Amino acid sequence: MIYLFYRGLILRMAGAAVVSFLVVMVLAPRMIRMLVRKKIGDRPEFDHADLNQLTRHKANTPTMGGLLIVIAVLVSVLLFANTRNYYVRMALVALVWLGVLGLADDWSKLRQGSSGETRRVGLRMYQKLLFQIAPAVILGIFTYSYGRESMVDGVNPAHSFYLPFTRWAIPLGVGAYTVLTVLTMVGTSNAVNLTDGMDGLAAGCLVIVAVVLLLVSEIVGVRAWARFFNLPLVAGAAEMTILCAAIVGSCLGFLWYNAHPAQVFMGDTGSLPLGGLIGYIAVVTRQEALLLIAGGVFVMEAGSVLLQVGYFKLTKPKGGIEGKRLFRVAPLHHHFHLGGWAESKVVVRFWLLGILFAALALATLKLR
């Protein structure tokens, strides 16, 4: 019975990865032509003249290509995942909700650009945060209330927070669980969005993190494996492997067109929902802390922005205009680009760092 379960799961994972890849490959040429025809192109604008000069060749490259990934993931999940699974349904809610938010943000930027505004900011920050926090709160409360099948000796391991390198578990109430869900989903969504600034960078890093989460989802969804790796048993979490496989396949397909020199950009349409989705998978599998390690590149990128802004404000003199900067510019990938690294070199080196972070994350599964 167990053998049949695994054989079926592996086949469904393979099917989800292959179909999502093919969906992107089939739809991408037509969508790129449509975006070019309708002049839905990006025009990178930074508060740094040298960086604007370095990225001038990207002007008018089609954006909103993340819609390809969202469609591919939806098709694959509907075909191969068990849609009666509660976690799958909640994950699809997160994907669609944040996908619509990203689409609205990208479209808002394009409309501002066509109206002649020199600085296109899209939706305001408070608007984006509001529509990111809202689904995270709902999903946090609903996910906490679900999962009685995971009960062990009167305790639900799916209601605790787990730290890498240790067996310690910190029990969480619904309030703390929801706050942790919000921090994980919103933080990951915005971190992926910040990383999406170079050809292939975000898509490649997403593939690496999705592979880690795929393995973790399969482990925590099976009692024997969860016990062997000292991880919490989360009944039904094995279905998250289908979502992870769909992310891997669709991002690989997208890389075909997004690799340097990019024919299309992901935009907020792809980065916001994909970041939120891997954040939700980490919540379901109770591996929020592990995600910080596996997604080390995303942490670096978001951390560089926070440090840059904080240091700038801290060193700004009274009545002055300019503060000091820790980096040439943030996010971090642009700092190295301005330092003389070719864009392709920055991307490949960040991919290598992503693989190292992923290996470290997987090593924590037994170093407990």
Considering only CA atoms, which of 286, 287, 284, 280 is closest in space to residue 93? Answer: 280
Distance between CA atoms of 56 and 44, rounded to whole angstroms?
Answer: 7
**What is the DSSP pairing of strand 160-162 with strand 169-171?**
antiparallel
**DSSP code string of 91-153:** HHHHHHHHHHHHHHHHHHHHHHHHTT-SS---S-HHHHHHHHHHHHHHHHHHHHH--GGG-BT
Half-sphere exposure of 173 (CA within 13 A, CB side): 1
Greatest Cα pair distance in the chain: 72
CA torsion 296-97-204-163 (nearest 10°) is 30
| 8 A C-beta contact, residue 19 and residue 249 | yes
Q: Which residues on neighbouring strands pair with residue 352, listed in sequence order?
A: none
- Distances, alpha carbon 84 to alpha carbons 80, 120, 150, 153, 240, in Å: 12, 42, 17, 26, 13
Q: Quick one: pLDDT at residue 118?
A: 47
Burial letters 187-225, b for 16+ CB under 10 A, else e: bbbbbbbbbbbbbbbbbbbbbbbbbbbbebbbbbbbeee
pLDDT number for residue 60: 76
What does the pLDDT profile of the chain (368 residues) look like in tens digits? 445 455 688 899 999 999 999 999 999 999 999 888 876 666 666 666 667 666 676 777 888 899 999 999 999 999 999 999 999 999 999 999 999 999 999 888 777 655 445 455 668 888 899 999 999 999 999 999 886 656 666 678 888 999 888 878 889 999 999 999 999 999 999 999 999 989 999 999 999 999 999 999 999 988 888 888 888 889 889 999 999 999 999 999 999 999 999 999 999 999 999 999 999 999 999 999 999 999 999 999 999 999 999 988 888 877 666 778 889 888 999 999 888 899 999 999 999 999 999 999 999 988 76
- To which residue do tokens 């999705």 refer? 210
Is the distance from CB of 23 to CB of 253 less than 8 angstroms? yes
Instruction: Report how far residue 220's alpha carbon sits from residue 238's, in angstroms, rounded to the nearest whole number.
Output: 7
CB 28 within 8 A of CB 66: no
3-state helix, strand, coil in the chain (%, to 5): 70, 5, 25
Domain ranges of the chain: 2-295
Give the residue among 273, 105, 280, 110 at the shortest CA–CA distance from 202.
273
CA distance 106 to 114: 13
pLDDT of res. 355: 98
